[in-house]
Amino acid sequence: MTTNDNILFEPAARLWADVILPLALPQTYTYAIPEHLAHKIYPGCRAEAELKNKKYAGVVKAIVDKDPGYPTKPIHNILDDEPIVYPQQLQLWQWMAQYYMCSEGEVMAAALPAHFKLSSETVLLYNEEAGDDFAHLNDEEFLVAEALLIKKELRLSEVQQILDVNHVYPVIKKLIEKNVCIVWENLAEKYKAKKENFVVLLPAYRNDDALSQLLNDWKGAPKQMELLLAYLYLEKQQGDVLQTELLKKSGATAAQLKGLADKQIVRIEKRSVDRIKAIPGYMDVDVEFSEAQQQASDAVAASFEQKNVCLLHGVTGSGKTQVYIKLMERYFKEGKQVLYLLPEIALTAQIIRRLQKYFGGNIAIYHSKFNDNERIELWNKIRTGEVKMVLGARSALFLPFKNLGLIIVDEEHDASFKQQEPAPRYHARDAAIYYASLFNAKVLLGSATPSVESYFNAKQNKYALVELQERYGGLLLPAIDIINVRQVAQQGKVMISPQLQEAVQTALDADKQVILFQNRRGYNPYLICGTCGFIPQCEHCAVSLTLHKYSNKLHCHYCASQYPKLVTCPACGSNNWLEKNFGTEKIEEHLDEVFPKHKIARMDVDSVRGKKAHDTLIQQFEQHRFDILVGTQMVVKGLDFDKVSLVGVLDADGLLSFADFRVNERAFQLMEQVSGRAGRKKEQGKVLIQATNVKHPVLQWVQQHDYSSLYTNEIISRKEFFYPPFSRIVVLTLKHKDKTIVNNAADKLTALLKQDLKDYIVGPAAPVISRIRNQYLMEIMIKLPKERGMDMTYKRIIRNHINLMTGEKPYKSVHVIADVDPI
């Protein structure tokens, strides 16, 4: 008899398991538990289960003793000795699937590291009865049969290598028909522990006298003596000695080391090692608070006595991170785990260095740039409680915490916390609040420019609210000037006005650094023929192409297609191309011309690729190896540079021209956040914003750092037009390669939805980008009232009507995506 999580297993009782498979299935599947596995299976373990003749590693959601009432397939095997996820993770997956209108399988696929998500690998087994006469086979079949005769089994990947083609199924099918082989489906475990060779001194020489005698009476090769001395030095310095380090230190070869081993002086042994290099764990939190910080810290701690969620609204440079650090220390000392969420991987690199100064190796970092093996190792350390604090981007929310006490969501307003593709399209801030509730943990939301929804919740007393309205060290917020670029006599769009150029030069002369913000990457956002007005567009998407200088090609930013740069216009034959607007590449080129003696860096998706690219660029800018940093919104988010005295916003009009109800909120957040990078140490910074519509109210609010006025204005307009936080929005996007079919499907689905939700439907309408990757799009917006207990009911109604529409023959191939709380 075995117990786990209050589940009792009796060997004689029949049991079934509800298993989540990593597929977009509408429900979990129930499998029979064979008697010999009944003592091994627990919720949260992976189980080998079959669906449509293919094996998957699913996660056991629940074990039940009630017969489902229909024939069930058996579970083939249990893949884990203990659960890899806890009940709280399974509850989170279920909530996400229900709230964000997707399947638990899709949540599982997003949550687990790839190497946990096994699917079957086809293995060919040699049929001994076939003999070795392959005269009746063609050339390709003969090659595979010969290999099978020798190896007795081949994996699908090996067959592909033998034939040097990917499509091998016709050959395999013929071999099966001719009884040369049979097929077996095998689940392959992809994770392998990393092994390293360590050098160990044998016990006979651990005694000082024996070791001295060995060295004094040495008659071997001098190089082996050097090896031994290098080993003794490294062992004293660091304990365990890696073979690679020893050979590097001594300048010896592997053969010479083998000679020492053959003499029974040392031995070489393989050990499993961590892929993520560990640093010693320590605790040294010597944060000195200002009076305002101390009051805010005390207020946050007091608020957690009454509420589970607190919003810390602190201006840029107010020292919110120090408040977080002090709070993290408290929960760590209580033995609790802490999750610190950031919106961008770019931010994690700088913040982890700051946190490691206080916590050393007690804090780990987790994000999507880690490879799959690294993720599994960190996953297991968090699951066992070995790692107590984690810093990460939104995917860190899925980690299997055992004793979670605190979640910090820094820059909580940031749109990067919302997953766009694929499902689940969750918002990490909102999911974090639910996840924390499962542990009775606390959540601290922090921002200089909170989202309207979060600030509304705080004002409605749903969250606690703590304000930190002065910069650390008594520094003033940056002075902001608006430059009217209409007054600049220049043809086309102004890139850098004379006022901004002069301010940049002044900052550089004072040995300061400059950040310039333009939220468009590439060289030219679009080209236009000056003769006929033709604009190059993507063949697969309804969008103009962007010229990139580094590739000298036209790029589509939606499907990643690339096209040669056009010399002549395909419409009229002219070569009179006009370059409209400007991206970060063009700004970088222009700055190189204007400031040739200074070093320019660019931070955008194109320039920072790879696991360490963000961190390298940020460190170089911190070390003043670059004077000017040009970037997209990557440079906006919470980065802290001591020597930045000037920030320039090059195109405020572009931020204010989107057709979205959040446009004012977003523009304010971006401009206020980027301005906050200026003057963070010792002296007041300066911000210059270039615009044509200089009377726009958002620009006035940014200039005055007036979040309150923005919030008041937004709340009035959103209440009038029934937008969040007064409603909950669900956007349904319909996709199909045929424009007529998708239009008709949208009309049909709208008619069905209006039967139950007539007053809440907006549309259908084509989105701004109406075709992506050869799929035509139509959107239906549903503004649902926030009625207690009705949220899941409304979503069930929507799901039922989608199923009714896609169940009709003309619309079976229409793909419908539900996006809850879209950003």
pLDDT at 185 over 90: no
Q: What's the pLDDT score for residue 3?
A: 37
* Tokens encoding 438: 């499962």
* 3-state SS class at 290: coil
Q: What's the pLDDT score for residue 354?
A: 83
DSSP 8-class letter at 566: P
Q: What's the pLDDT score for residue 376?
A: 83
pLDDT at 544 over 50: yes
Predicted confidence (pLDDT) per residue in 433-465, tens digit? 999 999 999 999 999 999 999 999 999 999 999
β-pair type (577-580, 120-126):
unpaired
Average pLDDT on 157-162 reads 81
pLDDT at 12 over 60: no
* Tokens encoding 172: 């395999």
* Tokens encoding 378: 């960190």
Q: What's the pLDDT score for residue 430?
A: 96
Contacts of range 78-81, beta carbons closer than 8 Å, 24 or more positions apart: 78/37, 78/40, 78/41, 78/45, 78/46, 78/47, 78/48, 79/45, 79/46, 79/47, 79/48, 79/118, 79/187, 79/189, 80/45, 80/46, 81/40
Residue for token pair 């001295």: 212
pLDDT at 732 over 90: yes
CA nearest neighbour of 442 among 413, 425, 424, 466 = 466
Q: What's the pLDDT score for residue 6?
A: 41
CB-based contact 747:763 (threshold 8 Å)? no
Report the 10 Å Cβ neighbour count for 458. Answer: 22
Q: What's the pLDDT score for residue 389?
A: 92
Task: Indicate the range of 99-113, 369-383, 434-448, 496-510 predicted with least confidence.
Answer: 369-383
CA dihedral 410, 414, 415, 421 (to 10 degrees): -30
Most confident of 66-80, 290-304, 623-637: 290-304
* Tokens encoding 272: 């499993």
Burial (CB count within 10 angstroms: exposed 0-12, middle 13-18, buried 19+), residue 375: buried
* Tokens encoding 53: 């003749």
Q: What's the pLDDT score for residue 255?
A: 84
Q: What's the pLDDT score for residue 281?
A: 64
How far apart are alpha carbons 297 and 127 in whole angstroms? 72
Task: Indicate the range of 370-374, 379-383, 462-466 predicted with least confidence.
Answer: 370-374
Sheet of 194-201, strand order: 241-242, 194-201, 266-273
Q: How confident is the model at residue 5 (pLDDT cuts 50, 70, 90)?
A: very low
pLDDT: is 361 or 294 the higher one?
294
Task: Indicate the range of 43-52, 415-424, 504-513, 613-622 predicted with least confidence.
Answer: 613-622
* 3-state SS class at 109: helix
Instruction: Please calculate the CA angle 460-463-467 and round it to the nearest 5 degrees.
Output: 95
pLDDT at 149 over 90: no
Average pLDDT on 60-82 reads 89
% of the chain exceeding 90 in pLDDT: 33
Q: What's the pLDDT score for residue 4?
A: 43
Average pLDDT on 362-377 reads 78
- Average pLDDT over the chain, rounded to whole? 85
Task: Indicate the range of 110-119, 591-600, 634-643 predicted with least confidence.
Answer: 634-643
β-pair type (553-555, 546-548):
antiparallel
CB-based contact 312:442 (threshold 8 Å)? no
pLDDT at 271 over 80: no
pLDDT at 390 over 50: yes
Average pLDDT on 720-744 reads 94
* 3-state SS class at 709: helix
Instruction: Please calculate the CA angle 411-414-416 and round it to the nearest 5 degrees.
Output: 120
Q: How confident is the model at residue 346 (pLDDT cuts 50, 70, 90)?
A: low
Task: Indicate the range of 185-199, 448-462, 564-578, 588-602 predicted with least confidence.
Answer: 185-199
% of the chain exceeding 70 in pLDDT: 91
* Tokens encoding 126: 């040699």
Q: What's the pLDDT score for residue 11?
A: 41
Q: How confident is the model at residue 369 (pLDDT cuts 50, 70, 90)?
A: low
Q: What's the pLDDT score for residue 560?
A: 81
pLDDT at 127 over 50: yes
Q: What's the pLDDT score for residue 299?
A: 95
Q: What's the pLDDT score for residue 660?
A: 85
Q: What's the pLDDT score for residue 247?
A: 85
pLDDT at 691 over 90: no
Q: How confident is the model at residue 754 (pLDDT cuts 50, 70, 90)?
A: very high
Q: How confident is the model at residue 8 (pLDDT cuts 50, 70, 90)?
A: very low
How far apart are alpha carbons 440 and 90 in whole angstroms? 16
Q: How far is CA 321 from CA 284, 404, 428, 453, 484, in A?
A: 15, 20, 19, 22, 36
